[in-house]
C-alpha cells in the first residue's frame, strides 16, 4: 500500500504544479485585457481631399508632403491651356449673342425699311408689266395668232410677279411692326445660357490652381508632377482641425452607459500622461469587433464606433497611434480632468 502511494505522489505534485501555472497564466492574460470601461482604437485627424476638377496634367507642385499649409495657399497647378481656350470660345459666343439681342431690341434700321419699300415697288412694276403682257397675249390667242402654250407661260409669269408683291409687302410690314417680344425673350435666354457656360468655364479655370481650402497638414500627394489624374481623383489629402480625435470601438456591454458629451481619458503607448476628451459621436449601428481589439471574451462581441475629441494638449500628436480610452460618464466613475 505504501509503495503504491509513493508511486502516485509524483503525479499529484505534477497536477498541483499545472494548476498553479494555469492560475498564473490566467492572471497574466486578464491583466493584458482591456477593462470593462475601456475601448481600443487609433488617433485620427479630420481629413479632406482636394479633387481634380478636370483631367489635366500636373505642371507644378508648390508644397511637400508633411508641410503645414495656410488657407488659400497654392498646392499645385494643373495645365490650363485647354480650359482657357474653351473659356475664350464661350466668351466670344456671349459677345455674339449679346450683339444679336441688342439688334432685336433696337428693331430694324430705317435703311432696311427703305430697301424693303424699294423692293416692293420693283415687284409691283414687274407684276404690272407681266399682267399687261398676259392680257395682250390672251387677246391674240382668241384670234389664233399665238399658241395656247405662250398664253399659259405669260399667265404663270404674271402670277409669279403677284406672289412676289405679296411677299415683299409682308416683309415690309414685318419691318415696320418691329421685333416680336417672343424673339427678344428667346435672345435673352440664349444669352443667359452662354453667360452661364462661360462662368462655369471660368470656375473650372480657377480650380485648376489647387488651393488649400483651410489650414492644416498636407498628409499626402497621391499624384506627382507630370501625372494626369482622372476627374474627381484626389490630388491632395489634408489633415485639418484644431485637435485630433480618438476613433475607438466601444464594446456592446459598455455602450448603454456612454452618450455623446461624456468625458473620457485617452492613453497612448509611450506617454505617461493621459489626454482628456469628450465623446463627439457614437454610431447607432453596431459592427463586429476589429482585429486589434480581439482579446478574450471581446472576440464574440459587437462594438460601436465612436469618436472622442481631444483637447489642445494633443495638437502635436500624429495620426495612426494606437490607444485605449477609459470613460468617465454617468455610471463610469468621476469626471476626467
Is 322:269 a contact under the CB 8 Å cutoff? yes
Residue 260 parent element (H or E): none
- Shared domain for 90 and 193, answered yes or no, is yes
Task: Report the chain's mean pLDDT, rounded to a whole number.
Answer: 81
Is the pLDDT higher at 320 or at 11?
Answer: 320
User: Residue 194's pLDDT is what?
Assistant: 95
Name the one residue in this structure whose C-alpha cell is 404674271: 158
pLDDT band at 37 (very low <50, low <70, confident <90, very high): low
What mean pLDDT comes out for the span 127-144?
A: 81
pLDDT band at 178 (very low <50, low <70, confident <90, very high): low
Percent above pLDDT 90 for the chain: 43
Residue 120 parent element (H or E): helix 110-142
- Residue 271: pLDDT above 90? no
- The mean-pLDDT minimum among 120-124, 146-150, 152-156 falls in 146-150
CATH of the domain at 73: 2.40.50.100
- Residue 79: pLDDT above 90? yes
What mean pLDDT comes out for the span 305-313?
A: 92
- Shared domain for 75 and 91, answered yes or no, is no
**Is 251 strand, coil or helix?**
strand
Give Rg (Cα) of the chain.
45
What mean pLDDT comes out for the span 94-107?
A: 87
- 20-34, 101-115, 248-262, 284-298 — which one is most confidently predicted on average? 248-262
Mark out the alpha helices in 35-109 (DSSP H runs): 81-106
User: 140 is in which domain, residue-wise?
Assistant: 86-202
CA angle (82 as vertex; 79, 86 as ends), nearest 5: 140
- Shared domain for 230 and 132, answered yes or no, is no
- Shared domain for 143 and 168, answered yes or no, is yes
What is the number of structural domains in the chain? 2
User: Residue 110's pLDDT is what?
Assistant: 73
Name the one residue in this structure whose C-alpha cell is 414687274: 126
Whole-structure pTM value: 0.60
- Shared domain for 187 and 165, answered yes or no, is yes
Name the one residue in this structure whose C-alpha cell is 462581441: 301
- 27-31, 101-105, 308-312 — which one is most confidently predicted on average? 308-312
User: Residue 2's pLDDT is what?
Assistant: 42
Query: From CA 216, how far away is CA 243, in angstroms rounded?
Result: 11
- Residue 23: pLDDT above 70? no
Residue-wise pLDDT tens digits, 201-229: 999 999 999 999 999 999 999 999 999 99
User: Residue 232's pLDDT is what?
Assistant: 92
What mean pLDDT comes out for the span 172-201?
A: 86
- Shared domain for 108 and 136, answered yes or no, is yes
Count other C-beta atoms under 10 Å from residue 238's C-beta: 23
User: Residue 228's pLDDT is what?
Assistant: 93
Report if residue 183 sits inside a domain: yes
Query: From CA 91, how far away is CA 197, in angstroms rounded?
Result: 9
- Shared domain for 192 and 232, answered yes or no, is no
Is 244:314 a contact under the CB 8 Å cutoff? yes
User: Residue 135's pLDDT is what?
Assistant: 85
Alpha-carbon distances of 65 from 77, 243, 282, rounded to whole Å? 16, 19, 32
Looking at residue 64, the DSSP 8-state letter turns out to be: -
- Shared domain for 165 and 95, answered yes or no, is yes
Burial per residue of 199-225, b for 16 or more beta-carbon CB atoms within 10 angstroms, e otherwise: eebeebbebbebbbeeebbbbebebee
Q: What are phi and psi of 32, to 5 degrees?
A: -85, -15
- Residue 242: pLDDT above 90? no
- Residue 4: pLDDT above 50? no
Report if residue 226 sits inside a domain: yes
- The mean-pLDDT minimum among 13-22, 57-66, 262-271 falls in 13-22
Q: What spatial distance separates the first Cα and last Cα of the chain, rounded to whole Å?
A: 69
Amino acid at each position: 500500500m505504501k509503495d503504491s502511494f509513493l508511486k502516485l505522489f509524483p503525479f499529484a505534485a505534477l497536477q498541483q504544479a499545472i494548476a498553479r501555472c494555469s492560475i498564473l497564466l490566467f492572471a497574466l492574460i486578464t491583466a493584458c485585457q482591456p477593462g470593462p470601461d475601456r475601448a481600443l482604437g487609433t488617433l485620427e485627424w479630420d481629413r479632406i481631399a482636394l479633387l481634380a476638377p478636370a483631367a489635366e496634367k500636373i505642371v507644378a507642385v508648390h508644397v511637400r508632403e508633411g508641410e503645414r499649409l495656410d488657407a488659400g495657399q497654392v498646392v499645385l497647378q494643373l495645365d490650363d491651356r485647354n480650359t482657357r481656350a474653351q473659356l475664350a470660345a464661350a466668351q466670344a459666343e456671349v459677345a455674339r449673342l449679346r450683339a444679336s439681342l441688342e439688334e432685336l431690341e433696337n428693331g430694324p434700321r430705317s435703311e432696311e425699311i427703305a430697301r424693303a419699300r424699294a423692293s416692293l415697288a420693283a415687284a409691283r412694276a414687274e407684276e404690272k408689266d407681266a399682267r399687261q403682257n398676259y392680257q395682250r397675249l390672251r387677246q391674240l390667242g382668241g384670234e389664233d395668232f399665238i399658241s395656247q402654250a405662250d398664253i399659259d407661260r405669260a399667265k404663270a409669269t404674271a402670277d409669279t410677279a403677284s406672289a412676289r408683291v405679296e411677299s415683299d409687302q409682308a416683309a415690309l410690314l414685318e419691318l415696320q411692326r418691329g421685333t416680336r417680344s417672343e424673339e427678344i425673350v428667346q435672345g435673352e435666354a440664349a444669352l443667359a445660357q452662354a453667360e452661364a457656360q462661360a462662368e462655369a468655364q471660368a470656375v473650372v479655370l480657377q480650380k485648376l490652381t489647387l488651393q488649400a481650402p483651410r489650414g492644416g497638414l498636407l498628409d499626402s500627394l497621391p499624384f506627382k508632377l507630370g501625372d494626369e489624374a482622372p476627374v474627381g481623383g484626389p490630388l491632395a489629402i489634408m489633415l485639418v482641425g484644431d485637435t485630433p480625435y480618438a476613433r475607438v470601438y466601444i464594446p456592446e456591454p459598455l455602450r448603454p452607459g456612454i452618450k455623446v458629451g461624456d468625458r473620457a481619458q485617452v492613453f497612448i503607448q509611450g506617454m505617461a500622461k493621459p489626454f482628456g476628451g469628450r465623446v463627439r459621436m457614437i454610431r447607432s449601428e453596431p459592427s463586429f469587433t476589429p482585429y486589434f481589439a480581439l482579446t478574450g471574451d471581446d472576440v464574440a462581441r459587437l462594438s460601436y464606433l465612436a469618436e472622442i475629441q481631444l483637447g489642445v494638449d494633443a495638437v502635436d500628436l500624429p495620426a495612426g497611434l494606437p490607444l485605449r480610452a477609459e470613460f468617465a460618464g454617468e455610471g463610469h466613475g468621476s469626471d476626467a480632468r
